[in-house]
Amino acid sequence: MVKSELRSRLEEQINSAAKAIIDKKNIKLDHIANGKLGYLLSLRRVLDNKATKEDLGLHDAVNDVLQLLGFVDSKKTYLSDVK
């Protein structure tokens, strides 16, 4: 996937999750939206080369699980093909 396309979709997802919290239509979903925001904001920092050590650990763990499940080759990362 092209990095600019991923960025665009990422921003849409960030805005959607934030809007879900702002709208307060279903307070019970705030925790889900907050979890999504945490991951998506972390991914944005990784793509912007501004990742914290926590961000790197999060994405390393996600990558490890995807490799264990066979979705990602053991010699790649799930973000390897983002250009």
pLDDT band at 29 (very low <50, low <70, confident <90, very high): confident
Share above pLDDT 70 across residues of the chain, in percent, rounded to a whole number: 100
Q: What is the pLDDT of residues 36-75, one digit of tens each?
A: 999 999 999 999 999 999 999 999 999 999 999 999 999 9
Structure tokens at 7: 């960025």
- Please tell me the predicted confidence (pLDDT) of residue 28: 81
Residue 5, SS3 per DSSP: helix
How far is the C-alpha of 9 from the C-alpha of 43, rounded, in Å?
12
32 neighbors 13 (Cβ within 8 angstroms) = no
Most confident range, picked from 1-10, 28-37, 42-51 = 42-51
Pick the closest to residue 37 from 51, 53, 17 (CA basis): 17
Residue 27 has pLDDT above 90, yes or no: no
Kindly report which listed range (1-5, 30-34, 76-80) carries the lowest average pLDDT score.
1-5
